[in-house]
Amino acid sequence: MRKKNWVIYTHHKPHPDEIAGIRDLLRHGEGKQIGQRKLVGISKAKIVFVDAGEDYALSLEQTNIITVGTGKQLFDEHISAPDADRMQTCAALLVSKALEIEETPMRKRWLEFLYFHDSQGRRTQMDFADFVAALNLMCADEEVMRIGIEIVDALLDLRCADKETTKEDRDAAADFIERWLKDKDPEATGPIVNFVRGIRHGNKAAFDFTEIFTKLKMVYGEGLLFQGEAKKIATQLLEAKYNRQKTRYCEAEKLVEDPNVTGQQRIIRRDGEFLVVYTKIPVDNEDYNKAARKKLGADVIIQGNGNGRVLIFTNAKTPMRREITNIAGMIRLREMKARQIPIQTAYQRLTYGGAIEEVPQWYFQIENTAAGGKLLNGSQTTNSVEPTAIPLDQIIEIVVKALELGFKFNWQVWVRNELDSRI
């Protein structure tokens, strides 16, 4: 009987850990023994994309199909208890362990990155995971896998495995992005522009565009090869990110204009007026606050997320430094009361920038703008900050009250009323 070729199944819109796991099977699996089977010919396996969660009953000993990140087989981290160890892993880790790939410092760093993204959703703007998410919105599954594997090949190439990006590398990446940015819609380039500013000032993150760009150059060289495939990959990443931003911003505008999603309240005072815009239902769109400022002229945006967290943004051009500082103190005081923990009433302490020990749920980001900053209960994607215990309607009420009172706000009166109130 003619021997069948190997086939690798993974789900549509593959995640970074599936891309990495499949890449390792292709690059490191040839001739390796898994169970009773030798992976002869695995380097030429065909990759097939299937619906997530399907149960493939045949074991590896019975078939030439290997499933990665799906299928409830050897390399699927989603298998439920009692195999609880799988809940602390990801597809790439399972493959790496089964193939007994040497865990160099670079590979350990890479697998940790994949694990924390897969299990906790951790990612930063313009890193490998962020680009894969963007590519999945723009490209066919096969193209996402091809680009992803080429990038992982470069990142893990032995010639540059120990390479740490330098200022020259960051400047080269920034120059490349700035040339690409010309004639792009500024509404969709905010995160990309911010990334460039950051790396110009020395920012770097694991497996971000700078590291990807630098290692592509090292692998392909800076001559014709780089001008071909490597440059094409770098450009595809930027285009995917840009298109994702354009799509998200358009969706945000629709949400802002939908009265079933967005509420408004205008506060009029002798010295001016404020427009407060707030979500009536959970909204996870990261551009919602930007669209609320542009489309509605919002001065304060209160956004409740699907993860139970609340973000209070301000319009940088609106003079309200005093008010946002008061709001920080008022919200933190109400948080302690809602949690029935010992209450700290010192105004200076409760309006301190950053997070404070007594109320770690709220981060007061002080900014050098007319508005003075913003108050954040975590962020759009973080799972590390506990959601607020204050109902959204109470947060809206506190913000409106602070804006109404303005310079008439009296901290001692507010504290006394809070302690006497049963809210």
pLDDT per residue as tens digits for the range 92-102: 999 999 999 98
Residues 400, 321 within the same domain: yes
Query: The domain containing residue 104 runs over which residues?
Result: 7-121
Q: What is the largest CA-CA distance in the chain?
A: 89
For the cut 90, the answer to whether the pLDDT of residue 159 exceeds it is no
Contacts (Cβ under 8 Å, ≥6 apart) of 320:
274, 299, 300, 314, 370, 371, 372, 403
For the cut 80, the answer to whether the pLDDT of residue 74 exceeds it is yes
Residues 271, 392 within the same domain: yes
Domain boundary among 200, 230, 257: 257
Residue 226: the pLDDT is 55
Residue 80: the pLDDT is 41
For the cut 80, the answer to whether the pLDDT of residue 64 exceeds it is yes
Residues 326, 389 within the same domain: yes
Residue 219: the pLDDT is 87
Residues 265, 128 within the same domain: no
The mean pLDDT of 300-315, rounded to a whole number, is: 95
Domain boundary among 257, 285, 303: 257
Residues 113, 143 within the same domain: no
| Reported pTM | 0.70
Please, which residues bridge with residue 288 across strands? none
Residues 239, 145 within the same domain: yes
- Domain count for the chain, please give it: 3
For the cut 80, the answer to whether the pLDDT of residue 312 exceeds it is yes
How far the first Cα of the chain sits from its last, in Å, is 76
Q: SS3 string of 286-332?
A: CCHHHHHHHHHCCCEEEEECCCCCEEEEECCCCCCHHHHHHHHHHHH
Alpha helix segments (H runs only) across 139-280: 141-156, 167-181, 190-200, 209-220, 224-225, 231-257
Residues 353, 389 within the same domain: yes
Residue type, 25: L
Residue 1: the pLDDT is 35
Residues 267, 398 within the same domain: yes
CATH assignment at residue 375: 3.30.930
| Helix, strand, coil shares, percent, the chain, to 5 | 50, 15, 35
Q: How far apart are CA 16 and CA 132, in angstroms?
A: 7
Residue 393 lies in a domain: yes
The mean pLDDT of 264-274, rounded to a whole number, is: 95
Q: How far apart are CA 201 and CA 293, in angstroms?
A: 28
Residues 175, 137 within the same domain: yes
Instruction: Report the candidate in 105, 134, 145, 111 with the shortest Cα–Cα distance to residue 209.
Output: 134
Domain boundary among 216, 234, 257: 257
For the cut 50, the answer to whether the pLDDT of residue 84 exceeds it is no
Residue 1 lies in a domain: no
The mean pLDDT of 28-46, rounded to a whole number, is: 89
Residues 298, 415 within the same domain: yes
The mean pLDDT of 92-116, rounded to a whole number, is: 92
Position 123 confidence tier, pLDDT thresholds 50, 70, 90: confident
- For 200-215, the pLDDT digits (tens) are 999 989 999 999 999 9
Residue 388 lies in a domain: yes
Residues 115, 127 within the same domain: no
Residue 196 lies in a domain: yes
Lowest mean pLDDT among 51-55, 294-298, 310-314, 344-348: 51-55
Residue 343 lies in a domain: yes
Residues 300, 310 within the same domain: yes
